[in-house]
Amino acid sequence: MPSSNRKWVLVSRPVDEVEESNFELREEAIADPADGQVLLRNEVLTVNPPMRMALVSGGITGKPYPIGRVMYGGGLARVAKSRHADFSEGDLVQGELGWQEFNLIDPGKRLAIKKVQAPADLPETTLMHVLGSSGATAWFGIVEFARPRAGDTFVVSTAAGSVGAIVCQLARLQGCRVIGIAGSDEKCVWVRDGLGATGVINYRRENVAERLRELCPNGIDIYFDNVGGETLDAVLGQIAFGARVVLCGGTSQYNHDLEWYGPKNYFNLVYRQAIMSGFYVSNFAHRNTEAHSRLAALLRDGTLHYAEDVLNGIQNVPKALIRILKGENFGVPLIKLV
């Protein structure tokens, strides 16, 4: 086992796009756990678009992430050494680990992790997406807010993303006509042929409003929004009577989230008697088992598909964040450390 821990510390704030120089890789000796402490070896980390907001505006917390602190981030870790009665060497844990290779934690004082186990017949990494936050987000966004009916025209943005790919498939399973919006032809092919969308739009090279008119001649019944901005506006211009617009994310705005783009077509909500509502997945955490057991069943019978975009090594964590903010990833971003 290594004798030192490498960790990425936030050293400056991005002005526009996130750059690797906003972080610094530092090394420190690993201490042995004292009584009541646990040493974790982090195995897999992930990154997500709201991290960009945390760096400047602070996003949901309203407080910019502190300079000089190890960058936050969730992942899976294995207990390497334990002097705590509830944890044994080899236990798998999940939670807030930060961009680093090891964590010395004190579960008695603050527990940002929990012991987890993937279903025996599914890969452990599914805990990082379908059986984790992305799965719960897709599930509750659909069940509680989109409420699809067979035959609905259902549009989803970032359709090849961690959340979007699951949304696409759940909507199709409900009998909807799914139109997926994504940022490359390769992603669009996967959304159509792999995830079952009826139509796809590459927003980087096609006119979204025009393509929506072609693909949704009777209007859009449901929009699951992951991007906000001009795409949300284009959809609002074409909603059907009684439409549901579900605000999940606003990735197109995260680089400039102190100045959000406000939709110009919002008054269609009045004309079409439609509902636009946001939701936050943490508010459904007490029901995660419900979502994950249904999603696990869909994974098991081969109905639900996912892709993982894997980088290896702690040195690549900032790169993984930069890649997703540029849309260069294909699948759920995972950084494997062992």
Ligand X SMILES: NC(=O)c1ccc[n+]([C@@H]2O[C@H](COP(=O)([O-])OP(=O)(O)OC[C@H]3O[C@@H](n4cnc5c(N)ncnc54)[C@H](OP(=O)(O)O)[C@@H]3O)[C@@H](O)[C@H]2O)c1
Binding site for ligand X (CB under 6 A): 48-50, 133-134, 137, 158, 160-164, 182-184, 187, 226-227, 248-252, 279-281, 324-325, 327, 329
Shorter beta-carbon distance to ligand X: residue 102 or 190:
190
Shorter beta-carbon distance to ligand X: residue 40 or 332: 332
What is the smallest separation between the CB atom of 129 and ligand X, expressed in angstroms?
Answer: 8
Q: Give the shortest CB-257-to-ligand X separation in angstroms.
A: 10
**Of the two residues 20 and 106, which places its CB atom closer to ligand X in the complex?**
20
Q: Which is nearer to ligand X, 40 or 215 (CB)?
A: 215
Q: 3-state class of 256 per DSSP?
A: helix
State the nearest-atom distance from the C-beta of 264 to ligand X, in Å.
18
CA-CA-CA-CA torsion for 112, 118, 123, 125, nearest 10 degrees?
-10
Nearer to ligand X, 9 or 184 (CB): 184
- Rounded to a whole number of angstroms, the CA Rg of the chain reads 21
Nearest distance from C-beta of residue 219 to ligand X, angstroms: 23
The DSSP string of 179-217 is EEEESSHHHHHIIIIIT--SEEEETTTS-HHHHHHHH-T
Q: Three-class SS of residue 64?
A: coil
Shortest distance, position 205 Cβ to ligand X, whole Å:
12
The span from the CA of 31 to the CA of 8, in Å, is 18
Nearer CB in complex with ligand X: 33/49: 49
Q: Tell me which residue has tokens 């859009």.
A: 220
Alpha helix stretches (DSSP H) within 35-128:
50-56
Question: Residue 93: beta bridge partners?
Answer: 77, 115
Cβ at position 52, least distance to ligand X in Å: 9
Which one-letter DSSP state was computed for residue 158? S
